[in-house]
Amino acid sequence: LQLTLDVLNLFNRKANDIEYWGGACTRSETLSGSCGGGIDGRLVHPLEPRTLRLSLRASF
C-alpha cells in the first residue's frame, strides 16, 4: 500500500500559473466556425486555490 498527500498552493497565493499572448475565441464563435484568428490578448490561467489531495494506491 502507498499513501500520498499532496498540498497544492500551500500559502493560497493569488497568482497566475501561466500567462501568454495569443488569440482567443468565444465558445459560440468556435462552434459556428466564425472565429478566424481570434482576438489577440493576454491569456491567463490562475493558480488553483489551496488544495489537499490524499491518494491510496494498492499494488499486488
In whole angstroms, how far apart are CA 42 and each of 7, 19, 47?
Answer: 29, 7, 16
Please tell me the predicted confidence (pLDDT) of residue 29. 79
Please tell me the predicted confidence (pLDDT) of residue 27. 78
pTM: 0.55
pLDDT in tens, 49-59: 999 999 999 99
Which residue positions in the chain have pLDDT lower than 70? 37
Please tell me the predicted confidence (pLDDT) of residue 9. 94
In whole angstroms, how far apart are CA 12 and each of 19, 34, 56?
Answer: 18, 39, 25
Please tell me the predicted confidence (pLDDT) of residue 26. 78
